[in-house]
Amino acid sequence: MKKLKGKLFLIVGPSGVGKGTVIALLKERHPEFDYPISATTREPRLGEKDGVVYHFVTKKKFEQMIKKEDLLEYAIVHNKEYYGTIKEPIIKALEKGKTVIREVDMQGCESILKVFPKENLVSIFLTVPNKQDLIDRILKRGKLPEEEIKRRMQSAEKEFAKGGKICDYQVPSLTGKVAQCVNEVERIIQKETE
């Protein structure tokens, strides 16, 4: 592997905290950054196109990717579907010195922290002041079965416990204040890439 010149920024935090929204806004402000696509076995939601945020793949294809070591990390998220960070586009972008932004769950963050050069990695944990905010935001996304909400809240509990300990930065993601959250993430990226 050539020397990595850029930095990979992991955006971490529980479901509903606003990772997708923060990344969408960063993308508008910073088209020069790289926003690689992960693979997942979950079904696309209404309006989600293959190849935009995820490559939607079958379980069989995902397991082939694991075998071929195509993934930097992978995890079963919310005890249900596979999600995995695809290695090649990230390494290529970092070799060119680019700033790379990717969201992962806490398991993904922990795995990447174990294998990735520290000098090329920054983890940012998005937090909310209370659980009810999270539930409200998850519910707003559309009707989810009660089981699914329970599953997401259980994952959230685990993420809160770990996020503060293992991530480099914590940024509050307050309801209705997404711009403030993006400004803070932007400030961290600037500082870390100076």
Give me the residues that bind ligand 5GP (CB under 6 A), please.
15, 19, 38, 42, 73, 75, 77, 83-85, 103-105, 107-108
Minimum distance from CB of 103 to ligand 5GP (Å)?
Answer: 4
Sign, Cα dihedral of 96, 119, 162, 179: negative
**16 backbone φψ class: left, alpha, beta (φ>0; ψ -120 to 50):** left
Residue sitting closest to ligand 5GP (CB): 108
Judged by DSSP in three states, 187 sits in helix
- Looking up tokens 């992991």 gives 10
Minimum distance from CB of 28 to ligand 5GP (Å)?
Answer: 19
Dist. CA 70–CA 184, nearest whole Å:
32
Phi, psi torsion values for 48, nearest 5 degrees: -80, 125
Minimum distance from CB of 99 to ligand 5GP (Å)?
Answer: 18
Closer CB to ligand 5GP, 152 or 190, in the complex: 152
Minimum distance from CB of 43 to ligand 5GP (Å)?
Answer: 9
Dist. CA 183–CA 186, nearest whole Å:
5
